[in-house]
Amino acid sequence: MASHLTSNPSPQEMPTPTHDILDVQTTNCCIVGGGPAGAVLALMLARQGIPVILLEAHKDFDRDFRGDTIHPSVMEIMEELGLAEKLLQLPHAKMRQIRVRTPEASVTLADFSHLKTRYPYITMLPQARFLEFITTEAQKYPNFQLVMGANVQELIEEDGVVRGVRYRGHGGWHEVRAILTVGADGRHSRLRQLAGFESIQTSPPMDVLWFRLPKQSGDYEGGIGRIGRGHIVVMLDRGDQWQMAYVIPKGGYQEIRAAGMEALRKSIVEVVPELQDRIQHLQDWQQIAFLSVESSRLVRWYRPGLLLIGDAAHVMSPVGGVGINYAIQDAVVAANVLSKPLKQGHVELHELAKVQRRRELPTRIIQAFQSFIQQQIFARVLNSNQLLQLPGWLRLPWLRELPARLVAYGVFPAHVKT
């Protein structure tokens, strides 16, 4: 018999809380995590009249070095929601190609301009602005509620079913009871930890140092990867700044830190000489964010009353910048599958399984693609002081269409169900 969660648990089922609870709210769907997956899912449910509460641990959306890439697949989703043109009114840049340059050659890894879409580019838009945009749209619906500064600490479980969460914030403990709880709280998911989910992990051969440098009027637009002897630098356009990713061998951060800031600046300029006139802007280690790169996915994304999506369900490598887009596609599939059950007041286990079934294969394929790129390019560069000889297949135009499509859309891209 299928497990399900009904909207009216009887009073005798409700456990006595271990904290003084200031208030108890009830809703159809409680989403934990106000990142791209959580925000888009909340908007899509709210548009259909489903009561939804979105809990975000931070007090604002401004965080350094979050992914800022919105790929064609997501722009098409925004179009299906009637929001694409309005979104593009926000200040943004467009990346029409992904290029890699070595001292000996320049190769286009992916050319989006040939894709048959109204959005043949990656939209470079600060994630904080995107999240503000999505949640502002959601707030137009009276059945949507956003709670910032809500630090979820506990799952509410009754008879093996998750029936909501308890969070701290706004002067004490609060409780949200829901037909369905969705964990969209990122790569360090608290809900994943609380629920005890099992994950399959890999260990990519790299870590990343993120920092910013000024962008000047003569600089190119979009983004580019630069490869030198044992070093890789990726530059992403943020309008008046470059968001820089300095790729290092896995576990090599302490060695770089011990060598000192001047050594780091020198190694960056060796790969990107045109940064010589602005590298001195990098003065302090506090300007640098360290990202321990990992890639993993859960064996199972759900339990009765609980579903995980986005990075909470599958942590992506930063290769290709596809994490945001896969998270949003998870949200779209979840909304398509679960809107009707949520309206009816119960969600059965097989319906949660259906979300994972539709999204797991695309996730596994893109993670395999990321692993291939990491091994064929990143590992070879980082583990050798020799100049990389780019694989010959990268120079074949018909093969370049494959990575362009994979990065732009992924596999089996999601669309809003009408």
Note the pLDDT of residue 361.
Answer: 95
- Let me know: does 250 contact 207? Beta carbons within 8 Å: yes
DSSP letter for 348, please. Answer: E
Note the pLDDT of residue 99.
Answer: 82
Tokens linked to 107: 């190769």
- At a CB cut-off of 8 Å and minimum separation 6, what does 323 contact? 67, 310, 311, 316
Q: Enumerate the domain spans of the chain.
A: 4-65+80-90+126-202+295-381, 206-249+251-291
Task: Determine the Cα angle at 156 with ends 315 and 350, to 5°.
Answer: 60
CATH code, residues 4-65+80-90+126-202+295-381 = 3.50.50.60
Note the pLDDT of residue 4.
Answer: 41
Residue 70 and residue 324: Cα distance in Å, rounded?
7
Q: Which residues of the chain have pLDDT under 50?
A: 1-14
Residue 296 and residue 283: Cα distance in Å, rounded?
34
Note the pLDDT of residue 309.
Answer: 98
CA distances from 135 to 39, 84, 131, 186, 261 (A): 6, 15, 6, 17, 39
Note the pLDDT of residue 13.
Answer: 45
Q: What pTM did the predictor assign?
A: 0.89
DSSP letter for 257, please. Answer: H
SS3 335: helix
Note the pLDDT of residue 64.
Answer: 64
For 298: left if phi > 0, alpha if psi spans -120 to 50, otherwise beta; the answer is: beta
Consecutive H or E run containing 124: strand 122-124
Note the pLDDT of residue 107.
Answer: 75
Note the pLDDT of residue 260.
Answer: 95
Note the pLDDT of residue 390.
Answer: 59
pLDDT digits (tens, 9 = 90+) for 68-114: 889 999 999 999 999 999 999 999 988 888 887 777 777 777 889 88
